[in-house]
Amino acid sequence: MSTQPDRAHADRAAALQLPATLALTALTAATAISLCRVFPDWDYLRSMLVVVLGTHVVAALLRYWRAHVLVAIPVLLLTIVQLVAMVYYRDTLNGPFPGSRTIELMRIDLRLVVAQFPTAVAPVPSTGSYAIVAAVALAVCAVLSDTFAFRAMGRIEAIVPTGVVFVFTAALGTDRHRITVAALWVSAALLTVAVLRFRHTNDEAAWMGARRFGLLAALPAFVVTFGLTAMVAAAVAPRLPGAGEKALIDTRNRQGSVTEVLSPLVDIGATLRQRSNLELFTVRSSDGPHYWRAIGVSDFDGTLWQPTEEDLQVMGDRSGAVVLPGPVTSQEIVVLGMGGPLVPAAYHPVSVSPDDVYFAAETQTLVLPDQSLQEGDRIAVLSMVPRPTDAQLRAATVTGAPSGSLDLPGGVPQSARDLALQVTAGAASPFDKALALQNWFRSEFEYDVDVQYGNSNDAIDAFLRDRRGFCQQFAGTFAVMARAAGLPARVAVGYTPGDLRTDGLYHVFGRHAHSWAEVWFDGLGWVPFEPTPGRGSPDAVGYSGVEPAQAGSGTDGSPITTPTTVVAPNSIDPGVPTTVGGGLPGDGGGPTTLPSGPGGVGGTPAGGSGSSTAGLVFLAVVAVVLLWMLITPRVVRALTRRGHRSPRDRVIAAWQRAMGTMSIAGAPPIGGATPLEYVHVAEVATGVDHRTLRELAVQVTRAVYAPREVDESTASRCEILSAEIDAICRERVPTAVRVRALFDPRLMRRRLAG
């Protein structure tokens, strides 16, 4: 008797195959659009849509050809690899297929994202590793969604994979188009669920005289519902309490504070992009602008550049230790928004006040040991700035360089080694090699802060491939390639001069954070070179040929803005002793070991609210779960009982609840069977007494077909029978299913409404 309904269900499923596929594809496209909140522009979108839409097309073809799931999923995964290779790695293909270089670059990009994700801050680059990995992740979501929707016959399950990506984006992304993308995604998700529900439903209910709905008949209702959803979201969401406030958990760390720090290379990217308008310190200089150098890092392990471990020494007067003496410049530094133990100064510092500030001779670094710089600290520094000439540099050798300054770890990309030899080929001296490398970077690469951070071997490979980056990549890659070409090199970290204002002070902001390269020359010491386009040191013009330039000077379009939250003092009163707040702990004597890791050098940002915030979030989640468990069953019950006012309606509703409960306990669908025909099958599957089932089946049959009206006592009796069936079936349901029923509104509805 169930042949005709089953055939009707199959026909409906076939008719709705294309609409359901299009709805699911639209949901994936909406998820791709929502990723605009983690990228700075739309450059990522076209390539990503090609990959994910191509995946949906192949999935639909495999279903059309009735490929088994064990065949379809591997084919789809290979399809993703092929599409990604064709879209993102076209130049590496062997004919139409990925080659060994393609797979190698894929692995490099994946490792880059895995390594940098814990410290990444949105927006991340819209081209390169992050965009590629995002496209792969979304394509995998498309495969999972298609499998859930058309092979596991899921409804809500089909939107879960892309829903995870959407929630992830909402948590970590910027506020860009927040309301618009949320309304778009929710509308696409509702449409997908509705179409899949129409496609998968097998409840004909024709024996009750129920009306049969079609997708086209319901389409106006869908349009009205989704339109209202989008309008309500756009109108109401911005006006909700706290909608315009900071997130409870700020995953983007945009604000900055007076405890912002500069860890060697590690924090430069975030400082340039997210804290560009945070004023860090001011400098009064006796002879104009300089690069304010914080530290030199020379140990490279294939992942990070780190400073050499060494003992700190009392500064005293070190003018006699400068290898190449130069003009003396004095600086008066006032700390505003900078933390950590490193004191920036013109290179080479020779004396400092107060005496709390110590000296690391190997890296020529001023260090405040055992504490961090604080707002209001004032420090006076005398520096002797070397000014080597072209003739001196060309005559200098590099054989007497400090130990380790030529070391390279294993795994340095062969492309970097080959390019280093190629670029420096024909150079007559070490200086000419360094100059050739500097000019090659400045002419062949573009400055772009929207790239992956890091100086690892993988990051170097990606940088040389894309030829775009910011100072971190330029300086680190220059140093690696210089060593490959036989030049002792290291990376310096600090700041460009800053903005000179009418108060006579150089105001240094986060956007002025910078790194550059230094090369060792015998008899001259460490000499700075500037491989980053749009940057230039005032102290290196004579030999480098690079004019002074920095962020905000018009070379890269960076704006110069005056922060309103930090006010610098107009001047430093020379009559007031220079101080460092807090003083030096202990007796202030004796050498101290300079920390070698980024955390030790950079210090730790202030704050201690992380644990309390996490506790509040945990309590909020628990409260929401409890409210859901308490309120949702009542809401479902109230909605499903609306309209069941007459005794006849109550009897039919009691039968529907009994069927829903029995289906959870393992009973098959009723199909085209009548209630009386269904009794025996349900008894065997659930263990419910056939007399209870038969009595309820007889009453619902009479309620549907008998000409006389059902009385109140019969309706009450049927509700009691339905409750008894519910109690019996509940004992047969596994614990896991019972727990799931506390949260899943679909199971609630099946149990409470059938």
Distance CA 681, CA 660 (A): 14
Lowest mean pLDDT, pick from 107-111, 162-166, 411-415, 600-604: 600-604
Q: What pLDDT shows up at residue 746? A: 56
* pLDDT at res. 489: 93
Quick one: DSSP state of residue 212? P
Give burial (CB, 10 Å; 0-12/13-18/19+) of 297: buried
Q: What's the one-letter identity of residue 539? A: D
Q: How far is CA 719 from the centre of its chain?
A: 53
**β partners of residue 331:** 285, 381
Q: Which residues pair with 515 in a beta bridge?
A: 493
523 plus 658 within the same structural domain: no
For the chain, counts of helices (H) and of strands (E): 24, 19
For residue range 144-157, what is the model confidence (pLDDT) as tens digits? 888 888 887 777 77
Scan for tokens 């602008």, then name that residue: 289
**451 touches 132 (CB < 8 A):** no
Which has the higher per-residue pLDDT, 242 or 660? Answer: 660
Question: What is d(CA 204, CA 587) in angstroms, rounded to the nearest whole number?
Answer: 87
Other CB atoms within a 10 A radius of the CB of residue 221 amount to 11
Tell me, what DSSP letter sits at residue 123? S
Q: What is the pLDDT of residues 552-595, one digit of tens each?
A: 543 333 333 333 333 333 343 434 446 665 443 334 444 444 44
d(CA 124, CA 117): 10
Residue 666 φ/ψ region, left for φ over 0, alpha for ψ in the -120 to 50 degree band, beta for the rest:
left
Q: Is the same domain home to 545 and 627? A: no
C-alpha–C-alpha distance, residues 239 and 727, integer Å? 45
Instruction: From 293, 314, 303, select the one nearest 363 (Cα to Cα).
Output: 293
> Exposed, middle or buried by CB within 10 Å (0-12, 13-18, 19+), for 317?
exposed
Most confident of 130-134, 347-351, 685-689: 347-351
Indicate whether 403 belongs to any domain: yes
* Dihedral (CA of 494, 499, 500, 505) sign: negative
Q: How confident is the model at residue 625 (pLDDT cuts 50, 70, 90)?
A: low
- Percent of the chain at pLDDT above 70? 70
Residue showing tokens 């804290």: 275
- Considering 540, 570, 598, which residue would you say is the last residue of a domain? 598
The verdict on residue 256 lying in a domain is no
pLDDT for res 251 = 39
Instruction: Identify the three-state secondary structure at position 494.
Output: strand
Rounded CA separation 3/10 (Å): 11
Flag the least confident range among 102-106, 413-417, 574-578, 679-683: 574-578
Phi, psi for residue 594 in degrees, rounded to 5: -75, 125
Tokens of 675: 């209630």
Is pLDDT above 60 for 229? no
Q: Which residue has the higher pLDDT, 533 or 115?
A: 533
Q: How far apart are CA 315 and CA 347, in angstroms?
A: 15
Burial class (CB in 10 A: 0-12, 13-18, 19+), 66: exposed
Q: What is the pLDDT of residue 345?
A: 93
Residue 250 lies in a domain: no
205 and 279 fall within a common domain: no
pLDDT, residue 273, reads 56
Encode pLDDT of 280-321 as tens digits.
999 999 989 999 998 888 888 887 788 887 788 888 888 888
Could you say which of 598, 628, 644 is where a domain stops? 598
392 contact partners, CB below 8 Å, separation of at least 6: 324, 523, 524
What beta strand segments (E) does 505-608 contain?
Answer: 506-509, 513-521, 525-529
Which range has the worst mean pLDDT, 40-44, 192-196, 271-275, 358-362? 271-275
**Does any domain span residue 257?**
no
Same domain, 668 and 582: no
Domain co-membership, 493 together with 637: no
Query: 365: part of which helix (H) or strand (E)?
Result: strand 365-367
Q: How many CA atoms lie within 13 A of 326 on its CB side?
A: 22
Instruction: Select the highest-mean-pLDDT range: 70-84, 553-567, 649-663.
Output: 70-84
Q: How many domains does the chain have?
A: 3
Radius of gyration of the chain (CA): 35
What is the number of alpha carbons within 13 Å of residue 609 lying toward its C-beta? Answer: 7
Q: Are residues 588 and 727 in the same domain?
A: no
- The three-state DSSP-derived secondary structure of 408-465 is CCCCCCHHHHHHHHHHHCCCCCHHHHHHHHHHHHHHHCEECCCCCCCCCHHHHHHHHH
* Tens of pLDDT, residues 198-220: 776 654 333 333 334 444 444 44
Are residues 196 and 274 located together in one domain of the fold?
A: no
Domain hosting 426: range is: 268-598
pLDDT above 60: residue 545? yes
Per-chain mean pLDDT for the chain: 75
Residue 371 is encoded by which pair of tokens? 């504490």
507 and 574 inside one domain? yes
Of 72-86, 201-215, 230-244, where does the model show the most confidence?
72-86
DSSP state letter for 42: S
Is pLDDT at 420 greater than 70 in this prediction? yes
For CA atoms 347, 348, 353, 357, the dihedral sign is: positive
Written as six digits, the tokens of 467 are 């030829």
Q: Is the peptide bond before 68 cis (omega within 30 degrees of 0)?
A: no
Question: For the chain, first and last CA: distance in Å?
Answer: 22
Query: What is the C-alpha to C-alpha distance for residues 471 and 459, in angstroms, rounded to an integer?
Result: 13
Q: Which residue has the higher pLDDT, 579 or 143?
A: 143
Q: What angle do CA 213, 214, 218 make, to 5 degrees?
A: 85
Note the pLDDT tens digit of each residue in 476-529: 899 999 999 999 999 999 999 999 999 999 999 988 888 999 999 998 999 999
Same domain assignment for residues 585 and 662: no
The residue with greater pLDDT, 202 or 413, is 413
SS3 of 350, please? strand
Between 240-254, 277-291, 688-702, the lowest mean confidence (pLDDT) is in 240-254
Strand order in the sheet with 313-314: 313-314, 358-360, 365-367, 342-343
What pLDDT sits at residue 502?
92
Q: Quick check: is 260 in a domain?
A: no
More confident call, 276 vs 355: 355
Pairing of strands 358-360, 365-367: antiparallel
Question: Minimum mean pLDDT among 33-47, 235-249, 336-350, 557-571: which range?
Answer: 557-571
State residue 566's pLDDT score: 37
State the CB neighbour count (10 A cutoff) for residue 322: 18
Give how far Cα 673 sits from Cα of 2, 9, 533, 691, 693, Å: 7, 15, 78, 18, 14
Q: Tell me the residue type at 485.
A: A
**Pair 60, 195 in one domain:** yes
φ and ψ at residue 508, rounded to 5 degrees: -105, 120
Determine contact, residues 704/209, Cβ cutoff 8 Å: yes
| 470 touches 449 (CB < 8 A) | yes
Of 456 and 719, the one with more pLDDT: 719
Instruction: Give the burial class of 111: count Cβ atoms within 10 A of its Cβ; 0-12 exposed, 13-18 middle, 19 or more buried.
Output: middle
The pLDDT > 90 percentage for the chain reads 19
Confidence band, pLDDT 50/70/90 cuts, at residue 432: very high
- The residue-averaged pLDDT of 251-278 equals 49
* Same domain membership, residue 331 and residue 411: yes
* Structural domain includes residue 259: no
- The residue behind tokens 């890091």 is 454
Asked if the structure places residue 685 within a domain, the reply is: yes
Do residues 286 and 506 lie in contact, with contact meaning Cβ atoms separated by under 8 Å?
A: no
Confidence of residue 333 (pLDDT cuts 50, 70, 90): very high
Q: At what angle do helices 69-88 and 129-150 cross, to 10 degrees?
A: 160
Highest mean pLDDT among 58-67, 87-96, 187-196, 585-594: 58-67
What per-residue confidence (pLDDT) applies to 284?
A: 94
Q: What is the pLDDT of residues 2-22, one digit of tens each?
A: 444 455 555 555 666 788 888
The torsion angles phi and psi of 125, rounded to 5 degrees, stand at -55, 140
Q: Which pLDDT value is given to residue 249?
A: 37
Within a domain: 349? yes
Residues 28 and 163 in one domain: yes
Q: Which of 535, 570, 598 is the last residue of a domain?
A: 598
